[in-house]
Amino acid sequence: MAEAVFHPPKRKRRVFESYKAPFPVDVGGKDFRLCQAEIINNNVIVRNPEDIEQLYNKGYFGKGILSRSRPVFSISDPQLVAKWRGVNTNMPIITSQKYQRRVQWAQSVLQEQGLDSCSISRILESYTQPLGLPFCTGDGDGHTGHSCTSGSPGNAEVCKKSAGRKGAQSPEGQNQHSKEGGDAALDPGGASRDQEQGDPREMAEGSCHRDPPVLWGCEGKQSPEQRAWEGMDSRECAPEYVLVQEEEEGSCCPEDDSTPAQENIVKKEVLVCRKNPFRIFEYLQLSLEEAFFLVYALGCLSIYYGEEPLSIVKLWEVFSEVKPDFKTTYMAYHYFRGKGWVPKVGLKYGTDLLLYRKGPPFYHASYSVIAELVDDHFEGSLRRPLSWMALSGLNRTNANASKELMLCYLIRPSDMTAEEMATPECMKRIKVQELIVSRWVSSRERSEQDEL
């Protein structure tokens, strides 16, 4: 067996961020933060925005449930953001079609709650009506008025009519970059407070609709798990304000009197502030290996199932039931994390783990890892008994993606009992052997032998 040759990691051409820290803990524990997560449908979810930022920015743990990796999902339309770049606000800007789609989703949720069509129409009409917002100029002063400014790109015109159409505004300032799921960007002032007054049940039903596998509504009986996260639910139940691009009523006019009106009709567009009737929150989803590493190895995460956090031994037991090969994959994850690698799920390439240097934003994955738990004689029931054809195909798949295939053998003593494996303390007796699989090319071997 030849000795493996180390190939340096391949750095990405474009890097848009700086490296902060390998782990979400500080040396000395001065700024130690204990993050919180919860188990929902056998998944570990982090809901607090500060915890999400801490875990992902320092160690790149988890992924956004609505994003490819970093949780940066936003409801804003990038084209509209560029079009209305003179508007000084951090609220999302969406099209009227996208807003109506969310109204339909909210209507469907209310129908599932057993409300009649008249009540649903009344709730949505009251909740989605235009709002009057004080706008901010470049110096941050807020004021209102009845003037119109037509300095936007193209034929768009931003109008501010508090007396007529509330919420249509004409601020000029910087670009906005807002994420869906955050708190309300601006205080809507007295006008919005007056509109929010009324039946609290109607307002809660109109504002709090969630993705069922992860989030809950704000009405009905609260489970113990909901009460444990009451503080987080209060943030999620707060209304979200969006700017909707709509065509101004009666704004179509001929561009030139000398030409037919039908040929040169200019449609004036305005931004109308409304409340989003169907909010979608993005959370951080941790793999079972990442979650257990944060709890067991770093001690910076508490995982709740109900009102009480689960102990390390209980998590080891629960995760092993959810994922039968969890012990094997976690041992490999723990080993490579301790070596300075950033392991991520390798399902895309048919393996257990992908190993990154520093993190996915900086380097491409160097190795695709398959973990196997064996005894001293390299015997045991393999998780993935590979044939030569399957091994060759897997190796070719990873080689085409510039990754090396690694077999990670976790060697346990022959006298280790099932009771010892029932706790994570069994890892102290586990040995690791790495084996890199490479394709033998006869012509390359001949040339290397001739050079020697």
Catalytic (active-site) positions: 356, 364, 403
Read off the amino acid at residue 443.
S
Q: Rg for the chain (alpha carbons), in Å?
A: 28
DSSP code of 295? I
Structure tokens at 199: 């039946």
Among candidate residues 191, 128, 169, the one with its CA nearest the CA of residue 269: 169
- Secondary structure of residue 155 in the 3-state scheme: coil
- Secondary structure of residue 49 in the 3-state scheme: helix
Q: How far is CA 196 from CA 25, 46, 107, 234, 452, in A?
A: 42, 30, 19, 16, 82
Q: Phi/psi of residue 396, each to 5°?
A: -65, -40
Residue 35, beta-bridge partner list = 301
Q: How many Å apart are CA 65 and CA 51, to the nearest integer?
A: 15
Strand (E) positions, 68-213? 93-95, 135-136, 142-143, 148-149, 158-159
**Per-residue buried b or exposed e for 131-156, using 16+ beta carbons within 10 Å of the residue's own CB:** bbbbbbeeeeeeebeeeeeeebeeeb
Segment (H or E) for 204: helix 200-207
Q: How many Å apart are CA 412 and CA 398, to the nearest integer?
A: 28
Q: Where are the alpha helices (DSSP H) in 61-155?
A: 78-83, 96-112, 117-127
Strand (E) positions, 376-430? 404-411
CB 334 within 8 A of CB 427: yes
Structure tokens at 326: 């969890």
